[in-house]
Amino acid sequence: MRALLLDKELQIVEDYPTPKPPPGEALIRVLLTGICNTDLELVKGYMQFRGVPGHEFVGVVERAPGAEEWEGKRVVGEINAACGKCPTCRAGRPTHCPNRTTLGIAGRDGAFAEYLTLPVRHLHTVPQSLPDEAAVFTEPLAAACEILQQVHVRPTDRVIVLGDGKLGLLCAQVLALTGCDLTVVGHHRRKLDILARRGIPTALEGEPVEAEADLIVETTGHPGGYASARRLVRPRGTIVLKSTYHGSVDADLTMAVVDEVRLVGSRCGPFAPALRLLALGLVGVTPLIEARYPLSEAPAAFEHAARPGVLKVLVDIGK
């Protein structure tokens, strides 16, 4: 099959072996795949990943031995394939299974290829009304929903989202659904306007933003985001950390003690609510799409996605 292979650099391979689903897994024909910041980090060496990247996808189940009812269904899939047997899995935290493989990120080929395999229990049927270019956002939207899974956001809370990247725009839209008093701070008027058109208040970095917020969601992807979040959060407030990047932060944890601030690391989230929000039309994702490329031009798609300020770039796999 045709696949985009990351082996120090990206290349299109025409005769990459088509995967064979092991017991419990399905063979999925990929339709559409999104490029995530994590994919761009993998190209820079993050996780020392070698293989086919890609974890934001929509596809059709081609074969599901022993679970034939799935065949022909259009699906999205949870990306952390857990062992299901270790104490972490048994404690109900499979996304943190120490033996997990992660689609296109660790130990498992991903979705920039004509086919992939995933455990059947990870699949979610896509409602017929939902086009591929919306369904492909399920995985990052689930990561935004994870905030509400971890933190009780009250309708009276004042909330600031830092960052107007792809994840920031999704987090903001999910948080706005709580009725909270939300402001999104970013660097790009063009991107903030996607939210402003939905009625969500925004501010360009440098414009005055009232501090003492109850909740800060840090999505900037930069180490400096932590200091900004600390400056804006109220005593006993919460900072949700969404950014992942190389390196560490020079953090004044003593001030976090004095102000009794709560920091919550937040990663992958639940797919079912993300699909519900998409199906209900409560989150607008198509304005985030900047470009679509065929799989044969996936390296160019990655270059496009890596340019500063660019939002979502999609890769059509079937074309």
Shortest Å, Cβ 268 to its own copies:
9
Residue range at the interface with its own copies (CB under 8 A); choices 61-69, 128-136, 166-174, 231-239:
231-239
Site string for its own copies, 90-109 (x = CB under 8 A): ---x--x-------------
Q: Which is nearer to its own copies, 45 or 72 (CB)?
A: 45
Q: Identify the three-state secondary structure at position 95.
A: helix
Among 242, 274, 288, 315, binds its own copies (CB under 8 A): 242
The two beta strands, 25-34 and 312-316, are antiparallel
Query: Does residue 226 interact with its own copies by CB under 8 A?
Result: yes
The two beta strands, 80-81 and 101-102, are antiparallel
Place of tokens 């994840």: 167
Residue range at the interface with its own copies (CB under 8 A); choices 7-15, 49-57, 87-95, 163-171:
87-95
Residue range at the interface with its own copies (CB under 8 A); choices 5-13, 24-32, 60-68, 256-264:
256-264
Shortest Å, Cβ 180 to its own copies:
16
Q: Which is nearer to its own copies, 150 or 296 (CB)?
A: 150
Query: Does residue 44 interact with its own copies by CB under 8 A?
Result: no
Region of 183 (left: φ > 0; alpha: ψ -120 to 50; beta: rest) is beta
Residue 150 burial (10 A CB sphere; 0-12, 13-18, 19+): middle
Query: Does residue 15 interact with its own copies by CB under 8 A?
Result: no
Shortest Å, Cβ 160 to its own copies:
17
Among 99, 125, 244, 286, binds its own copies (CB under 8 A): 244
Identify the DSSP state of 223.
Answer: T
With CA atoms as reference, report the closest residue to 84 among 71, 72, 73, 95.
Answer: 95
Among 234, 270, 297, 306, binds its own copies (CB under 8 A): 234
Query: Does residue 189 interact with its own copies by CB under 8 A?
Result: no
Residue range at the interface with its own copies (CB under 8 A); choices 53-61, 176-184, 190-198, 262-270:
262-270
Q: Identify the three-state secondary structure at position 5.
A: strand
Query: Does residue 212 interact with its own copies by CB under 8 A?
Result: yes
Among 15, 44, 248, 308, binds its own copies (CB under 8 A): 248
With CA atoms as reference, report the closest residue to 161 among 186, 143, 140.
Answer: 186
Residue partners of 235: CB distance under 8 A and separation at least 6: 259, 260, 261
Q: Which is nearer to its own copies, 127 or 223 (CB)?
A: 223
Q: Looking at beta carbons, which pairs linking 291-295 to residues 24 or more positions away fall under 8 Å? A: 292/316, 294/319, 295/2, 295/4, 295/12, 295/112, 295/113, 295/114, 295/319
Query: Does residue 245 interact with its own copies by CB under 8 A?
Result: yes
Query: Does residue 199 interact with its own copies by CB under 8 A?
Result: no
Q: Burial letters for 33-72: b for 16+ Cβ neighbours within 10 Å, e otherwise? A: bbbbbbbebbbeebeebebbbbbbbbbbbbbbeebeebee
Shortest Å, Cβ 146 to its own copies:
8
Query: Does residue 190 interact with its own copies by CB under 8 A?
Result: no
The runs of H, that is alpha helices, within 73-158 are 87-90, 132-135, 138-150
Among 152, 254, 307, 308, binds its own copies (CB under 8 A): 254
Q: What's the CA gap between 176 and 170, in Å, rounded?
A: 10
Chain contacts with its own copies (rule: CB under 8 A): 87-88, 93, 96, 146, 150, 212, 223, 226, 234-236, 241-254, 256-267
